[in-house]
Structure 1
């Protein structure tokens, strides 16, 4: 059987080529002020040695539990710190199949259900969950720092084992919940090898004459998991495909990733990373990049530093037209990436521009008019909305369980084709919105639950919050004389169980995120009378800004 390239074979090779080069720079914080005292470097050789050590630790532990090799092992971690990275890589190195859960999914019942669905045999969890995993149906262990533990010198499987391309290497989950729980995204060896090829293309160092130093995507470093706020971004976690994809590209080039102190790190920290860590490529979601762009408008030193970066790489959401204009007018090098959990990165813009987006080299994609057959004739679609479809012969077409009946993967992502070639994103052809950190939220599921549990209270409702930290619910009351606060509390009470099973970024668990409006106030379509989600966001922007604490 063939040997497949994985992130483990890449790490082993990079540890040989770049042994003493820093793989990570981790901030050491003042425990009282949280000020960054210094940036500590961890070399490629050290990272590999720690991964091997932890792999032996888990091999020893799971052998004692009777968990056979190649078993699925749940990994319920923040995925944010160097210690998390060691655990995540070492589980695969020990020959197990990691199934990743992030701290954004705090309900253990959902974790256990997802583990059962994949026939998981064990669970590694963050220490902050010690009090709620006692009902685990499989052996469960806290993710401890094994560097301080006596470990037997057990043998490990080959870094590149003999496997079939269709064998599962690891399992992720979609960032939005469907039917009360996220959807499994199995990743095969062949699929991941193709993603490694794409990640190498997406992360080619802009300057080949120096080590590429970039930011880890929104990591919470040196912060206990129990102190992580609900709305922290976990898309940058190694428990999600986004960070796993990007970091696998970084290590192929011997790049260094800086673990930032928080998701919304201030511009002063960015300037410090440029000065002390020699940061040359900033990787960030637009929601947080906007803060630096805004600061640069009246901070000439920051503007000069942004102009001096080799690249600002962003993904997940589109930049505002104002920020886009500022960036272009001031010669800031920027690049846009479009991707998903199911496929990794799919489209890239050319360096220095955010549009147009073009399919990554070596892929097989189609852009088809919505509601049209894939076998239909190609027509001039320059002014038409097209759906991105990953064709079955593309190496990154996801697991067959995720494909449509025609064998292709229909992303639901819509684009306009530009006259000069390439595409610009036009959102999704479904009822999902993206939160400020690019995590998806199933609005229709929330609306359906409100209608099912609150039919006597609500005549109409809609969920909005595109680009916001969490969703907001607009309702038209069935009884116009009912007290608004009473109505909000009743809705929260009746929908509490439903939201308890959802990701934190999908929940509406406070009356602060419910807005009651008079009947027939919500904007509707002229033909069917459906409430228009985007029109609601535009009409009530001032109220939404106030709701989320944004200065109007």
Structure 2
């Protein structure tokens, strides 16, 4: 059978919207890092460039005698139009891209993952040349495709018959406690469902004009891959920012000069704009005027979310993971009810109660606060590769929710957010972290709660400023005292002995979204934790 893919979507839309801009790429001023102009790249040019990249890689790899559908590693930053051409071009040439991001600095990890996927070659960004040494596979630099004379190189037909279970691309999880990510092989049938879900997420609010959105993250990860597939289906335009955490003045520029009307960002980066809008009326007005402000990756701090709702910003919450792409989506709007997550149309999910039942959630007092794990059923088109499923044949995400209304959910963290104390009682670390962020937001840059298998939890914080550590600890305990007074004894943090202050950017994070890795913190600071519990037991 032939399957709908990102490549067939591009071909169809290039025929339908040939002169519409598919991308806007920044040209930086020679005197500063400011954007001098935004250069449009049309749909017809994008398609032609992808086919040029495909011919380039077909010719370049020809000497290896590789069969069709061979796996080729692509180690790229994933944040530029050129990166998209290499990724799409490799697939158009008939190969299977295995995608690595800029944030995997150890080539040994790359080589191990290439071997696991039975890859036949590695293509890498030129800036990585000093560290790409002793490769077990043939290596190629992701060079300038426009210099190649490859017009006569043939390409395989796009409508060829494929096995729906065959792998079309390979992603990786952003981290693991073993120090090596997991392979996420993606089949043609899985990709077909991704295309369908992306169409649902990216549906325009106004079909009378072209939607303009902005790059969300690296194309070597599922989030931006998903969002670009959605944008292409409606002939929308995607802006390439100067950096993933683009500043608020660049956001204003994208709205005014590029006509951006839909902002898609990870919550961490969106929160910066929301905070800035409190003191910048022009920025607030711009956020209020957007058709949609979609955030993903993390939940917004309650304070930021409430500020947005109170000021008429149309928030929309998207929940997903690497294995399945986007899974749950809120309807979007100006109040908290509109933030509740619902399964995306066409999926087949179960929400299975966990055991034991935890204490009720204070934020949702009128509901039965049972924790429910999101399970992707095997008959759902986005259920990941069988190698990732559990013994029952389904994919258990480990993501926990509360059902606050019939069919409406609130994310309550991952299964490992609910650590177990030494007496096997569960502790909701996410609730503690949310309270610290809301009561001590101007004091801390980031925080995380650990203590799995310990008598009680410990809070690690990275400070916002230069407040002395002991004073910061006392301020945190004072401000959170009321919250902890209502929690079980094994969930409380009521002494400065159980607050650890570390320098900014010390806590280990995931590569994709910058999430702090709870288990990695437990491992990295094991000696400190042993000392805390030994002294304060």
Q: 1:269 to 1:513 in 2, by over 3 A?
A: farther
Query: Which residue of structure 1 aligns with residue 398 of structure 2?
Result: 412
C-alpha deviation, 1:447, in angstroms: 10
Give 3-state SS (helix, strand or coil) of 2:327's partner: strand
Which residue of structure 2 lines up, in the alignment, with residue 176 of structure 1? 175
After TM superposition, the structure 1 = structure 2 runs for residues 83-162 of structure 1, keeping only pairs within 5 Å, are: 83-162=82-161
Q: Mean Cα displacement is larger for which, 32-41 or 130-139?
A: 130-139
Question: Can you list the C-alpha shifts for 1:158-214, whole angstroms capped at 9, x where unaligned?
Answer: 113211110000000011125221000000000110011000100001111100001
Shift of 1:516: 4.9
Alignment match, 1:362: 346
Alignment map for 1:229-378 (pairs within 5 Å): 236-352=217-333, 355-371=339-355
Structure 2 SS opposite 1:312? strand
Distance in 2 between the 1:517 and 1:289 partners?
33
CA distance, structure 2, for counterparts of residue 251 and residue 503 of structure 1 = 23
Bigger CA drift: 35-44 or 25-34? 25-34
For 1:62 and 1:522, the matched residues in 2 are separated by 59
Whether contact under 8 Å (1:172, 1:186) holds in the other structure is yes
My pick for the range that moved more, 255-264 or 187-196, is 255-264
Whole-Å separation in 1 of the counterparts to 2:149 and 2:535: 65
Alignment check: 8 A CA contact 2:215 2:244 kept = no
In 1, Cα distance between equivalents of 2:107 and 2:241? 29
Quote how far apart the aligned CAs of 1:103 are: 1.1
Superimposed CA distance per residue, residues 58-93 of structure 1 (whole angstroms, 9 cap, x where no aligned partner): 101111122222100000001110110100000000
Cα distance in structure 1, aligned partners of 2:414 and 2:34 = 41
Cα root mean square deviation, aligned:
3.5
Q: CA deviation at 1:419?
A: 3.5
1: distance between equivalents of 2:172 and 2:459?
A: 23
Contact 1:356 1:421 in 2 (8 A): no
Paired with 1:519 and 1:302, the residues of 2 have a C-alpha distance of: 47
Moved over 3 A (4+): 431-435, 459-468, 501-509, 512-524
Q: Distance in 2 between matches of 1:518 and 1:71?
A: 49
Tell me: CA distance 1:392–1:383, structure 2 relative to 1, closer, same or farther (3 Å).
same
Give the conservation status (yes or no) of the 8 Å contact 1:177–1:503: no
Local SS of the residue matching 2:175: strand
Q: TM-score, normalised by structure 1?
A: 0.75
CA displacement, residues 449-472 of structure 1 (integer Å, 9 cap, x when unaligned): xx9xxxxxxx9997957999xxxx
Structure 1 residue 503 displacement after superposition = 8.9
Q: 1:415 to 1:138 in 2, by over 3 A?
A: same
SS state of the match for residue 175, structure 1?
coil
Tell whether the 8 Å contact from 1:287 to 1:467 is kept in structure 2 after alignment: no
Once residues 109 and 133 of structure 1 are traced to their aligned partners in structure 2, the CA distance between those partners, rounded to angstroms, is 9
Q: Offset at 1:153?
A: 1.0
Query: Across the two proteins, how many residue pairs are aligned to each other?
Result: 453
For residue 415 of structure 1, report the CA deviation from its aligned partner.
0.4
Contact 1:369 1:381 in 2 (8 A): no
- Structure 1 Cα separation of the partners of residues 313 and 229 of structure 2: 26
Alignment check: 8 A CA contact 2:266 2:513 kept: no
SS at match of 1:405: coil
Change (3 A) 1:174 1:12: same
In structure 2, C-alpha distance between the alignment counterparts of 1:322 and 1:237, rounded to whole Å? 28
Shift in Å, 1:254: 0.5
**Aligned-residue offset at 1:515:** 9.9
Alpha carbons 2:72, 2:121 under 8 Å: kept? yes
The separation in 1 between residues aligned to 2:265 and 2:103, in whole angstroms, is 19
Change (3 A) 1:410 1:344: same
Superposition map of 1:148-547 within 5 A: 148-217=147-216, 236-352=217-333, 355-371=339-355, 382-419=368-405, 421-430=407-416, 516=528, 519-520=531-532
CA deviation after TM superposition for structure 1 residue 42, in Å: 0.5
- 1:187 counterpart SS class: strand
C-alpha deviation, 1:382, in angstroms: 2.8
Superimposed CA distance per residue, residues 298-342 of structure 1 (whole angstroms, 9 cap, x where no aligned partner): 222221111111000111111112211111111111100000000
- TM-superposed deviation, 1:392: 1.0
Q: Which residue number in structure 2 is paired with residue 476 of structure 1? A: none
Contact 2:195/2:229, CA 8 A, preserved across alignment: yes
Q: Cα–Cα, structure 1 residues 391 and 522, in superposed 2: closer, same or farther, change >3 Å?
A: farther
Scaled by the length of structure 2, the TM-score of the pair is 0.77
- 1:191–1:149: structure 2 CA closer, same or farther, 3 Å change rule? same
Separation in 2, partners of 1:253, 1:240: 22
Higher relative contact order (CA 8 A, sep 6+): 1
